[in-house]
A and B are shown apart, each in its own frame.
Chain A
């Protein structure tokens, strides 16, 4: 009894902000000191579903950028970390991967801004993609580097002597064993990209209207209705990804 009450309280605390956002997004008018909105309306959601809202464009743009960053970084950092791990000077190279984290991402973006402007990438999606790649690629390497240990090296040698070529080695052994690490790096880089505001604002100079940019724009213009809807959209893909990860990736691995 006590346990179920505790769980209910914790669940309520966890879900209350989301419920509040849902109410805010559906409310046309909500005056103090009313506990519930004066009028409910599905304004922003109707516009979203009929494709007449900028929110839909921002949602799709954010999904596209985050997915692309996550896929590219996961692939590149997986193979790059292998080369670094097996290199005689790997430890020295690894020090370089920490370099982007010496500075705040926005500061790094500001430092690189000259080159983005110079090569016409400022205010472009390509510029935002490249900026986010700079931040997330070293993260992927740092995460994957611990995967390439002596045991994995032995597996690679074993597959070779059993007759496996490099493609078979990756497909049949390394990728399946690395699945939890790969999915973790993918999800983490997706989330870093998904929630990024500072770097996107700096490099995109407001032209690249991702969902976090939109949330702040609505908040600044006191459009709480739309801000709440955008915020709910912001948390939706990470929740879906977590569910996919738990249901399909981790479960398959445990089997």
Chain B
């Protein structure tokens, strides 16, 4: 709750391991607050957050191994690309040799190995987003929470990043919640889709169920493109 206003209530959410759950919702529907509560960055008034049955409510964010990624890449301006990606490993006091090996591997898989020594302001929006993903993935978190990560990108870069992220999440069998207000993006990124409206979350059992629901917005979008053509 924010002061006396309830952001969401009686919300049930289950994400299976290795699954990407897309959550669709308009601005102000409570998506960001939901992710922040899961990450431990906002405190819930009541309820349980569990990982494999273990209650996490009292755990500090740094102990949950759940990474929250903002729409903005938020690269550390005083560190170059290599050090940004290595950041989480240095927090964990990983050995230098191991850091070099893992960072090189991640940079190569993201296609940004040639930018390793550049500072963040020298990168494009898409490159910055790749570095942000690399920084999150390298520490192999339990879950990644992505809050409209492609919102600030142009159409082509957005498409490339969607494909790249989808591929990485599948290869790493990463569990993720992907929040967006774009229906196409939600369908492309998620194994399942949920829709958040005024603090209520409805999760569809399958993509087919989502598309078939007239209230989901998918059919309306389909009709729009059909009429245009």
Contacts and interface: CB of A to CB of B under 8 A. Distances in A.
Interface of A: 151, 154-155, 157-165, 168, 172-173, 176-177, 179, 253
Interface stretch (B15-23, B85-93, B101-109): B85-93
Interface centre among A159, A160, A161, A176 (most CB of B within 10 A): A161
Contacts of A159: 62, 91
Contacts of A173: 76
Contacts of A164: 62, 91
B149 to A, nearest CB: 13
A154 B66 contact: no
Contact of B91 (A155, A162, A176): A162
Given A157-B36, A161-B61, 18 more contacts: A151-B74, A154-B70, A154-B72, A155-B74, A157-B39, A157-B61, A157-B68, A158-B68, A160-B60, A160-B62, A162-B136, A162-B139, A163-B88, A163-B92, A172-B90, A173-B76, A177-B76, A177-B77
A168 B90 CA distance: 10
B145 to A, nearest CB: 8
A31 to B, nearest CB: 59
B76 A161 contact: no
Nearest to B80: A255
Nearest to B39: A161
B192 interface: no
Interface string B109-148: 0000000000000000000000000011001000000000
Nearest to A156: B41
A160 B61 contact: yes
Nearest to B3: A88
B135 A157 contact: no
Contacts of B64: 161
B72 A163 contact: no
Contact of B62 (A154, A155, A161, A176): A161
B67 interface: yes
Contact of A155 (B65, B67, B68, B76): B76
Interface residues of B, number: 27
Q: Is the interface of A mostly helix, strand, loop or mixed?
A: helix
A110 B191 CA distance: 72
A163 B140 CA distance: 11
A162 B78 contact: no
Nearest to B65: A163
Given A154-B72, A158-B68, A165 B78 contact: no
Contacts, number: 60
Interface string B149-185: 0000000000000000000000000000000000000
Q: Which 4 A-B pairs have the closest CB atoms?
A: A160-B61, A176-B78, A162-B88, A161-B67
Nearest to B135: A162
Contacts of A163: 62-63, 65, 88, 91-92, 139
A157 B41 contact: yes
B93 to A, nearest CB: 10
B92 to A, nearest CB: 6
17 contacts: A154-B72, A154-B74, A155-B76, A157-B36, A157-B39, A157-B68, A158-B70, A158-B74, A160-B40, A161-B61, A161-B67, A162-B135, A162-B136, A163-B62, A163-B88, A164-B62, A253-B78
A158 B90 CA distance: 15
A177 B74 CA distance: 13
A155 B90 CA distance: 16
Nearest to A179: B78
A176 B60 CA distance: 24
A26 to B, nearest CB: 46
A130 to B, nearest CB: 35
A177 B39 contact: no
Contacts of B67: 161-162
Nearest to A158: B74
B68 A161 contact: yes
Interface string B37-58: 0011100000000000000000
Contacts of A155: 74, 76
A210 B88 CA distance: 49
A168 B136 CA distance: 17
A160 B65 contact: no
Nearest to B83: A172
B67 to A, nearest CB: 5
Nearest to B138: A162
A155 B69 CA distance: 11
Given A157-B41, A157-B68, A162 B74 contact: no
